[in-house]
Amino acid sequence: MGVPAAAPPPGRRLPLDPIDGGGLDAPAALDLLRRGELTVSARLVDASNATLYCDIIAGDVAGRCVYKPVRGERALWDFPDGSLAARELAAYEISAYLDLGIVPPTVVRDGPFGEGMVQLWIDTDVTVDLVALTRSDDPQLRRIALYDAVINNADRKGGHLLPAPSGRIHGIDHGVTFHTEGKLRTLLWTWRGRRLVAEETALLGCLREALAGDLGDRLAELLTVAECGALAARVNRLLDEGRFPLPSGDWPPIPWPPF
Ordered structural domains, the chain, with CATH = 26-241 (1.10.510)
List all residues 6 or more positions away from 20 whose beta carbon is below 8 Å from its beta carbon.
Answer: 122, 123, 164, 165, 166, 168, 170
pLDDT at residue 11 above 80? no
pLDDT at residue 3 above 70? no
* Element spanning 131, H or E: helix 130-134
The mean predicted confidence, pLDDT, of the chain is: 92
pLDDT at position 10, please? 39
Measured CA distances, 56 to 29, 46, 88, 118, 137 (Å): 10, 22, 19, 10, 36
pLDDT digits (tens, 9 = 90+) for 183-240: 999 999 999 999 999 999 999 999 999 999 999 999 999 999 999 999 999 999 999 9
**82-91 average pLDDT score:** 97
pLDDT at position 13, please? 59
Q: Which residue has the higher pLDDT, 12 or 220?
A: 220
> What pTM was computed for the model?
0.92
pLDDT at position 101, please? 93
